[in-house]
A and B are shown apart, each in its own frame.
Chain A
Amino acid sequence: MDLFLQQTVNAFALGGTYALLALGLAVVFSIMGLINFAHGELMTIAGYVLMYCGLAGLPFLLSVPLAISASMVAAVLMERIAFRPVRNSSGATMLVTSFAVAMILQVLFQNLISTRSQPVLLPQLLSDSVTIGGLVIGVNKIAAIVSTLVMLVVLDRFMKHQKTGIAMRAAAEDFGVARLMGIRANTVIAGAFALSGLLAGVAAVLWVSQRASVDPLMGFMPVLKAFIAAILGGLGSLRGAVAGGFLLGFIEIYLAAFLPHEFQEFREPIGLGIVVLVLLFRPNGLIPSAALKAIKV
């Protein structure tokens, strides 16, 4: 039983990180219909800022906000430079643009920083663990769970009570009508990118605090997981993205924890098989986006 609880804590921590990542993708997708595959590179940028701050001797508590702001600024710039010119193009054009942005950034990291992975100095505290009720929980796990919860609450309040947040929800439901009501498209879209940058930044701090290094291709794996989580939850739906993230985290951890040893090698295909199975029964995801209405796509 203890083991089960312990693994559940692990699943919450991993699922929370996935939820933040998926939410970052979903915020932009719900408004623009763009799956931003350069989202992972925002994480890499935040990771490099953490690394340089560590080298410069800044305290970690100061590096974290700097890294998150850098990722937000990068997200807004990304929108202004790469995505605004193709805003009204087809989904395929925007998708290819996001791949191009991701590749260009990766090559820039490789050429301007290093092809090798760079160590990130982390405070010892993040590697420690505490014992709560017989469960040994790593501080970075607690940090992951707490920051996920804080982000979700803040985001929820922002979307419900702030003018920009409400405008973003309106735009997600019907961008055309929202604009007719006087909502500025540029503000809403820039806001969505800033928000996705914020989420990427927080996720990057959690991600990097586990691996202790940053490399040019670091962003690929998280964005892939986020994509799976977002599809699982229902593409375009923010609540769905959170649900998808947590479900993916639970699937991965429970399989790694309780699958018999002979099957461990096939853990990933089995995990993806479960995702496919869920989608067979709920083709629009766990919590489908309202914008889809009842149409099956």
Chain B
Amino acid sequence: MKKFLLISTMLGAAAFSMPAAAETLRIGLATAQSGGLAGYDSPVVEGFHIAVDEINTAGGIGGNVMIELIEKDVRSDAAQTSIAAQELVDEGVSVLILPCDADPALAAIGIVSSAEIPAISTCASSPTLPMIGGEYMFANFPGDNVQATVSASWAYEQGHTSAYIVYSPDTQYTTMPLYFSEVFEKLGGTILGQDTHSIGQQDFSAIATRIAALSPQPDVIMTSSYEPDFPSMLKALRAAGVTSQVIGSDGIDSPTTFSLGDVGEGVVFTTAGHATEGSPLAAFNAKYEQITGNPSETVFNAVGYDLVKVLEAAVIAAGGSTDPKELRDAIANLENVQGATSLITYKGTDGMPVREVTLIRVKDGARELVGQPSPDASLIPAPRMQ
């Protein structure tokens, strides 16, 4: 009897410690619902919920695997991210969703790799994330180096031959202009100079004055700074009399950029997608408006929907399994998953997906599609640690 008890207890414990029952995919979300990154993570999670509800209403992934979410707010804090990731691992999730920026996401690396659970950052675009994060870390956004290749190639094709970059060494993402200058020089353009700023810096007048004093003026000014830095920088540049083409990146895909009036006109930036008529993104935006009652203000809603589509495809590819290791292998081999913004491929990459990059121009306070060019693979710079 004793033996029976022991064995049954052990079996019970073993069954209990299994990540999840076969019919439920437990997803742990450790995302920033407050703090500096909330502006990105909260719209992503909104889109995430729309996709999860849609799948669960239809009977689950493949008709039988229901999705269960466990959500924690990491307050845009690196330490809190690793605490939340550990708690979620302890609760037996099969997949972890980490915050938008590479830096807090990296804080969870140790936990992710020792627990051997696949982790995907909501929208971090730094190609160094999966590189440092190892085989269990994935991203869900076009890489910084790819975005910079697209914008530098576009600028060069427009006949712009000189550029100035303004970047911040504070995070991986805000160093994207360094990739830009690498590609721009490779194409034959010249970089007239560079400036650094810190995130949250209020005043850009010193930098703007320095750029205004250059002769000749740079054709292009490239930055990957985001709110509140980007509007301040742009206003300072224009007030100092600088009229160069300003190029930004996905971080400024937000309502503020489109409400700057004349100052914002003509700004071009790279992002994850554009809702052309009949596109999956247009369909998603319609769905979003129907569910929430408000139009989607940023592509990050759709990026959250993409994330669930990737997980859905991975579960199906793993034959309905929710085992973390099988899911990791399935994600790493996904090809051409149709998301709301683009086709998404992980196969052949180190975890930084191949996705479409869209160039948008601010025109009359609205989006204008500039193009969705495929970057020349030989131009894409290697990921670098800043």
Contact = CB atoms under 8 A, between A and B. Distances in A.
A3 B209 CA distance: 7
A267 B169 CA distance: 12
Main SS class of interface, A? helix
Given A119-B256, A127-B261, A138 B202 contact: no
Contacts of A128: 239
Interface of A: 2-3, 6-7, 10, 13-14, 107, 110, 115-119, 121-122, 124, 127-129, 136, 138-141, 207, 210-213, 215-218, 221-222, 252-253, 256-257, 261, 264-265, 267-268
Contacts of B245: none
Given A140-B235, A140-B239, A256-B207, 9 more contacts: A115-B39, A116-B42, A117-B227, A117-B254, A118-B256, A207-B202, A210-B235, A212-B256, A253-B203
Contacts of A115: 33-34, 38-39, 42
B39 A210 contact: no
Contacts of B202: 14, 207, 210-211, 221-222
Contact of B205 (A138, A221, A268): A138
A14 B212 contact: no
Given A119-B256, A138-B239, A221-B200, A14 B205 contact: yes
22 contacts: A3-B209, A3-B213, A7-B205, A10-B205, A13-B205, A14-B205, A116-B39, A117-B39, A117-B254, A129-B238, A136-B212, A207-B202, A211-B227, A211-B232, A212-B259, A213-B227, A213-B231, A216-B34, A221-B202, A253-B203, A257-B209, A267-B198
A110 B236 CA distance: 28
Interface of B: 33-36, 38-39, 42-43, 169, 193-196, 198, 200, 202-203, 205-207, 209-210, 212-213, 227-228, 231-232, 235-236, 238-241, 254-256, 258-263
A296 B240 CA distance: 44
A119 B235 CA distance: 14
A45 to B, nearest CB: 17
B68 to A, nearest CB: 24
A297 B259 CA distance: 49
A127 B209 contact: no
Nearest to B263: A127
Contacts of B207: 256
B205 A141 contact: yes
A147 to B, nearest CB: 16
A216 B75 CA distance: 12
B346 to A, nearest CB: 29
A10 B203 contact: yes
B209 A211 contact: no
A252 B232 CA distance: 16
A216 B38 CA distance: 10
A94 to B, nearest CB: 26
B35 A217 contact: yes
A115 B36 CA distance: 9
B269 to A, nearest CB: 16
Contact of B260 (A10, A136, A212): A212
A211 B225 CA distance: 13
Contacts of A110: 34, 38
Contacts of A6: 209, 213
A127 B239 contact: yes
A107 B34 CA distance: 8
A156 to B, nearest CB: 26
Contacts of B33: 115
A110 B73 CA distance: 13
A127 B232 contact: no
B239 A215 contact: no
Contacts of B238: 127, 129
Nearest to A258: B206
A122 B213 contact: no
B38 A211 contact: no
Nearest to B298: A116
Contact of B240 (A138, A207, A221): A138
Given A110-B38, A127-B263, A215 B200 contact: no
B41 to A, nearest CB: 9
Contacts of B209: 3, 6-7, 10, 257
A129 B239 contact: yes
B203 to A, nearest CB: 5
